Amino acid sequence: MITDQLNNGARALMLDTYDFDGDVWMCHSFGGQCHDITAFGPAIDYLKEIEAFLSANTEEIVTLILEDYVGPNGLTKVFTDAGLMKYWFPVSNMPKNGEDWPLVSDMVANNQRLLVFTSIQSKEASEGIAYQWNYMVENQYGDGGMQAGSCPNRAESSGLDDKTKSLVLVNYFHSTSSKEKTCEDNSGDLINMLRTCYAAAGNRWANFVAVDYYKRSEGGGSFQAVDTLNGKLLCGCDDIHACVAGSTSGACTP
């Protein structure tokens, strides 16, 4: 469930949204169509979980990256009905041309703690929902993104080294999910891929990492990977817990 993921530390969710059964639904993506066997449930039920989490955790920021198959104004209505617009980070405040994002403390102070990206370009102008590829680069998902030493961009994304896009998303999961394979994938191989993609992205660490079965690993897994990313992004250390308080310049504890 969404609530479980948020309570376990997930702060970015990749969701597929569809027009289905007269409403907006969360659904497994299948050829651009939602079917009875791939439909999860009405989107508002999931979005209300996010609203409850943001309401209860007033210093947390959540990012939603939507594979969007919803018609005009459908997402705007369901986000409004779910009570999420009061947390909306406006497109007008998003940095263009690779500029810096606001400080987390400023986003929290302004209560702009929900970032939403859509895969439909026109919705940025028509509904104020940020078009993902204006702000983010992403590597190939599925088996094509799991070749050791290689980090190609997915077709919709510009090259990973395009620094006019300030956010980097790294996928690391098989085209066909497997709990057994994922346990191995989310261990040392994941960290190695993050380092490969760091180089491919022009020496930029990922802001987001997408995996299957995020709690499965042979060690620290995806949680350790995020600790590494946050350490690198905040202070240059290999683990966020090694950052000396207040340091942003590589001051690390032993």
**For residue range 147-202, what is the model confidence (pLDDT) as tens digits?**
999 999 999 999 999 999 999 999 999 999 888 889 999 988 999 999 999 999 99
Q: What is the pLDDT of residue 29?
A: 77
In this structure, the answer to whether residues 154 and 98 fall within a common structural domain is no
**For residue range 31-69, what is the model confidence (pLDDT) as tens digits?**
788 999 999 999 999 999 999 999 999 999 999 999 999
In this structure, the answer to whether residues 35 and 51 fall within a common structural domain is yes
In this structure, the answer to whether residues 125 and 151 fall within a common structural domain is no
In this structure, the answer to whether residues 19 and 128 fall within a common structural domain is yes
Q: What is the pLDDT of residue 218?
A: 86
Q: Given 91, 109, 132, which residue is the final one in a domain?
A: 132
In this structure, the answer to whether residues 176 and 83 fall within a common structural domain is no
In this structure, the answer to whether residues 160 and 240 fall within a common structural domain is yes
In this structure, the answer to whether residues 96 and 195 fall within a common structural domain is no
What is the maximal distance between C-alpha atoms in the chain? 57
In this structure, the answer to whether residues 178 and 85 fall within a common structural domain is no
Instruction: Provide the domain count of the chain.
Output: 2
Report the candidate in 202, 126, 197 with the shortest Cα–Cα distance to residue 164: 202
Q: What is the mean pLDDT of the chain?
A: 95
What angle separates helix 74-81 from helix 43-56, to the nearest 10 degrees? 50
Report the candidate in 168, 75, 65 with the shortest Cα–Cα distance to residue 114: 65
Q: What is the pTM of this model?
A: 0.94
- Residue 36 CA to chain centroid, in angstroms? 26
Report the candidate in 8, 78, 23, 12 with the shortest Cα–Cα distance to residue 47: 78
Residue 25 has pLDDT above 90, yes or no: yes
In this structure, the answer to whether residues 251 and 148 fall within a common structural domain is yes
- What is d(CA 46, CA 79) in angstroms, rounded to the nearest whole number? 10
CATH number of the domain to which 71 belongs: 3.20.20.190
Residue 72 has pLDDT above 80, yes or no: yes
Q: Given 132, 157, 179, which residue is the final one in a domain?
A: 132
Q: Given 82, 104, 132, which residue is the final one in a domain?
A: 132
**Domain span including residue 38:** 1-132
In this structure, the answer to whether residues 114 and 147 fall within a common structural domain is no
Residue 1 has pLDDT above 90, yes or no: no
User: With contact defined as beta carbons under 8 Å apart, do 198 and 204 qualify?
Assistant: yes
Report the candidate in 58, 215, 204 with the shortest Cα–Cα distance to residue 139: 204
Report the candidate in 58, 24, 55, 50 with the shortest Cα–Cα distance to residue 39: 24
In this structure, the answer to whether residues 119 and 17 fall within a common structural domain is yes
- What is d(CA 27, CA 38) in angstroms, rounded to the nearest whole number? 6
In this structure, the answer to whether residues 28 and 53 fall within a common structural domain is yes
Q: What is the pLDDT of residue 136?
A: 98
